[in-house]
Amino acid sequence: SRAYSLVDSSQVSTFLISILLIVYGSFRSLNMDFENQDKEKDNSSTAGSFNGNSTNNSIQTIDSTQALFLPIGASVSLLVMFFFFDSVQVVFTICTAVLATIAFAFLLLPMCQYLTRPCSPQNKISFGCCGRFTAAELLSFSLSVMLVLIWVLTGHWLLMDALAMGLCVAMIAFVRLPSLKVSCLLLSGLLIYDVFWVFFSAYIFNSNVMVKVATQPADNPLDVLSRKLHLGPNVGRDVPRLSLPGKLVFPSSTGSHFSMLGIGDIVMPGLLLCFVLRYDNYKKQANSDSCGTPGPGNISGRMQKVSYFHCTLIGYFVGLLTATVASRIHRAAQPALLYLVPFTLLPLLTMAYLKGDLRRMWSEPFHSKSSSSRFLEV
């Protein structure tokens, strides 16, 4: 009851939305893998050869070096935003709006494909040097541009949340963790990054750098443009300042405060959940190919049926709940990754060890050892 009293409706909304975004982004990523496999099969059958290393160029895989330096790069970006926000806020707002437009179009694409399927064939329309696009892609991009324009004009928090959701899903779908080792390096480094900038930055910079950057609104580009062009006092001056879509915010039932969760606290654990979902599917296919070979003899059949994805997702929920309760008890911002990383990584490592998959998951579990022999057979 004590924990329940420390969680209000805004935090419940944050829980549900963040979990739905992670699940949806993970399954979009898995679906992209299936589509790439189908394309590879079609290409191999038509070309008469097999290329086991062909991948989608739009997918970015994080290696160990990138995982180690990502917290450092994030720290530099945070300091730039802290010290030079007034100078770069317009550029940063425009870049964020462009990225959010593309990401939200990606979020809307399945719905638009469903709506346009009965009306038009999935043929691509040429736009010259801009490329070729289907009717669903054009519709999703048009709706996304319209939403971004309304957000710029109104600055409403709900539209900002929609753009942040698109960014979360796109990052989870297009960024991959290749192994458990890279996952541990990345999440451990980001945990240190989060703890330092939330708890210790005030001792050095006399201000909580993370909270100030996350909550500082930016000047509206329309207002800046009207002042630069001297369009008059009534042109573009009534637009609000913009809170950038780097977080999810939900108002409380009383409207006295907002519950806030950074998209990094959704995306980074979401990359881990995407990895374990892909591994669950990989292991399922491997077991079906080997005619259902049983796991280690010291593990019960019930334990073998528990998927890594469900285990890690439950850990994410418990970690998010713990972070929320801690923030209400201490009445201060908490580094969410301080709770999310242990509650997701430790159960995953324990289950992988008990199932006997830890060695395989630790280093390049999706690398096909038989690719070379298969190439020779073809």
Active-site positions read 194, 265
CB burial of residue 250 (10 Å; 0-12, 13-18, 19+): buried
Query: 84-107: b or e for each residue (b if 16 or more CB lie within 10 Å)?
Result: eeeeebbebbeebbebbbebbbbb
Looking at the DSSP bridge assignments, the partners of residue 250 are 259
CA–CA separation, 137 vs 109, rounded Å? 6
CA–CA separation, 99 vs 348, rounded Å? 32
CA–CA separation, 276 vs 309, rounded Å? 5
Q: Which two tokens stand for residue 222?
A: 């329309």
Type of residue at 141: F
Q: Left, alpha or beta for 183 (phi > 0: left; psi -120 to 50: alpha)?
A: alpha
DSSP 3-state of 337: helix
CA–CA separation, 3 vs 161, rounded Å? 26
